Structure 1
Amino acid sequence: MFDDLISTFWSSPLLQKSAKAAVVLATGIPAVLLASRIVSRVLRHRLGEQGGNLLARIVRYAGYVMILVGVLQEFGFNLAAVLGAAGIAGVAIGFASQTSLSNLISGLFIVGERPFEKGDVIEVGTFTGTVEEIGLMALTLRTFDNRSVRIPNETLVKTNVVTVTRYPIRRVDLTVGVGYNEAIDKVMRVLREVADAHPAVLDEPETVIVFNGFGESSLNFMIGAWTIKEDVMKVKNEVPLRIKEAFDREGIEMPFPHRVLASGKAMGPIPIVLERQRNKQDG
């Protein structure tokens, strides 16, 4: 009886094709997944985690297409006609989806150049946030107010992208204004003491303190404090508070903008000019 089943099975062309297609699927899918995993591990050291995953995804999709072609061949599909129709459709779709193709190619350039990685903080136009994913078509950015922004890869290639967390340390620049009656050397000394006393401010590179010049109502100074990228917000929040406390202790005035209004003689000649013009018209 068992021999009869085997003979019946092999005598049916459809069952034979189904068996061969099942073999292609059973061996092809694990092979594609293994190749994708190997590509991800090998290229992750060179292209980063996100780049390795992106290329592994391309390998996986290409492998699935090859498996599908093998299965169709087993069932006797005329792939020449199918590929010819697909070529014509591909040309039409290509003209209609030039932006998508441009985004795909731009994504490959981004993966190759690695201007940023997953987890970096970047600035793109008016958006600033953390890179969550670098996809085939677009980048997903998570802003600090917890919004998800999708930015096409073509935009990233064509515009200026600032990688905020590219380097381990950053300089925090703060502008401070004091009254015109204050001594410049004293103000610079107090600013230096505040920067040196803050635990998050680095000793090397040294804090930069510059006298920026004369404002409308104040003498302006810039203090540039170096810190590690994890403490940037801490320095931005705490150093101005310590500067205000130090200025209060030292009696250094931080002025507010004011205006001086003048009246009187400045308005005098206008009625005279108007009167002279009126006399000429009457004459």
Structure 2
Amino acid sequence: METFYNWFSLHSRTIILCALLLGVGLPLLKLTGYLIRKGLRKKVSEQSIMLLSKGVVYLGSTVIILMTLQQTGVKLGTLLGAAGIAGVAIGFASQTSLSNLISGLFLIWERPFEVGDVLHSGSDHGIVYSIDLLSIHLRTFNNQLIRIPNETLIKSSFTNVTRFPIRRMDIEIGVAYKEDIQKVIDILKDVADRNPYCLDEPAPVIVFKGFGDSALEFLFGPWFAKTDYIALRNSLLMEVKSRFDEEGIEIPFPHRTLYAGEATRPFPVHVVPTPEPPKEGTP
């Protein structure tokens, strides 16, 4: 116990300084990051705010740790030299991380999406949850987290679904061949005019695409505000089905008629009845 007391008395100043650096400095850095996010929220994009606040926290944490090590007597020159050698070795071993970092800088410069946008990348799609220097995180619509490396986004194509304030919902519709084409077009126009989520301008796109295997095919594409996707999708499909039922418009199911030509027609076969034997006593 006396040995510990003597050691503590000898190094008490160093211990107190280290405790202050870590106990006060790190919470202050966290508070600084919060103030940066709050102060710049209405001035710059959410993406830039997130990266700036994280950069300040990471850089400040590094400085505080180095100052703490210096107080304990660690020679920073030797430590930084060893860190440089280790950094070269780690750099060769982590080329993917470096590529992701560089790709992240390109994404920050280009800004093809921001936090809150809906992104489709390959089979992955969801809402951009966070943007980091090495990767982005998507929150799926069933509340799962997807991590996509920045290098993947740079090397492949992706779709920002909510980049613009309005979108067009393209719906493929098929009706029976007996139906009147102009009547179907008029019904679809009326459905779009009556739906509160369909925009008047731009006007809905209604195109007769052609003759399908089992139906006359139409493209129905009303425009809507990007925040109304689910409401429009549900109401529009139900309204189209209801109007078609009212107007007697048939939505066919796939069917096929098989025809065998002359070359495959079977040989005719006639059944000739066997004649009855003559009765006894008949000449």
List per-residue Cα deviations over 1:152-211 (Å, max 9, x = no partner): 122122222212122222111111112223222221111111111112111111111111
Contact 1:102 1:154 in 2 (8 A): yes
Aligned-pair CA distance for 1:39: 4.4
- Say yes or no: does 1:102 pair with 2:99: yes
Counterpart residue type for residue 127 of structure 1: D
Cross-structure match for 1:226: 223
Output the CA distance in 2 between the equivalents of 1:224 and 1:46.
36
Cross-structure match for 2:279: none
Cross-structure match for 1:201: 198
Task: Give the ranges of 4+ consecutive aligned residues of structure 1 lying more than 6 Å apart after TM superposition.
Answer: none
Counterpart residue type for residue 68 of structure 2: V
Q: Which runs of 5+ in 1 are unaligned?
A: 1-11, 270-283
Output the CA distance in 1 between the equivalents of 2:193 and 2:178.
25
Aligned-pair CA distance for 1:34: 6.0
Alignment: residue pair count: 259
Output the CA distance in 2 between the equivalents of 1:45 and 1:106.
27
Aligned-pair CA distance for 1:216: 1.9
Cross-structure match for 1:250: 247
Look up the SS of the partner of 1:84 in the other structure. Answer: helix
- Say yes or no: does 1:131 pair with 2:128: yes
Moved more, 44-53 or 180-189: 44-53
Output the CA distance in 1 between the equivalents of 2:79 and 2:197.
65
Look up the SS of the partner of 1:83 in the other structure. Answer: helix
Contact 2:50 2:131 in 1 (8 A): no
Aligned-pair CA distance for 1:33: 4.8
Output the CA distance in 2 between the equivalents of 1:129 and 1:31.
34
- Say yes or no: does 1:181 pair with 2:181: no
Cross-structure match for 1:57: 54
Contact 1:44 1:50 in 2 (8 A): no
Moved more, 177-186 or 88-97: 177-186
Look up the SS of the partner of 2:169 in the other structure. Answer: strand
Distance 1:84 1:266, change over 3 A: same
Output the CA distance in 2 between the equivalents of 1:173 and 1:56.
40
More helix by share: 1
Output the CA distance in 2 between the equivalents of 1:237 and 1:61.
46
TM-score (norm 1): 0.79
Distance 1:145 1:27, change over 3 A: closer
Contact 2:113 2:160 in 1 (8 A): yes
Look up the SS of the partner of 1:217 in the other structure. Answer: coil
Output the CA distance in 1 between the equivalents of 2:70 and 2:193.
74
Output the CA distance in 1 between the equivalents of 2:31 and 2:237.
55
Aligned-pair CA distance for 1:85: 1.0
- Say yes or no: does 1:157 pair with 2:142: no
Output the CA distance in 1 between the equivalents of 2:238 and 2:65.
65
Aligned-pair CA distance for 1:32: 4.2
TM-score (norm 2): 0.79
Contact 1:172 1:226 in 2 (8 A): yes
Output the CA distance in 2 between the equivalents of 1:246 and 1:24.
71
Look up the SS of the partner of 2:45 in the other structure. Answer: helix
Output the CA distance in 2 between the equivalents of 1:24 and 1:194.
67
Distance 1:96 1:180, change over 3 A: same
Cross-structure match for 1:67: 64
Cross-structure match for 2:111: 114
Output the CA distance in 2 between the equivalents of 1:56 and 1:237.
40
Counterpart residue type for residue 154 of structure 2: V
Task: Output the aligned Cα RMSD.
Answer: 2.8
Output the CA distance in 1 between the equivalents of 2:263 and 2:234.
47
Look up the SS of the partner of 2:148 in the other structure. Answer: strand
Distance 1:13 1:108, change over 3 A: farther
Moved more, 224-233 or 65-74: 65-74
Cross-structure match for 2:78: 81
Moved more, 116-125 or 247-256: 247-256
Aligned-pair CA distance for 1:26: 7.3
Cross-structure match for 1:237: 234
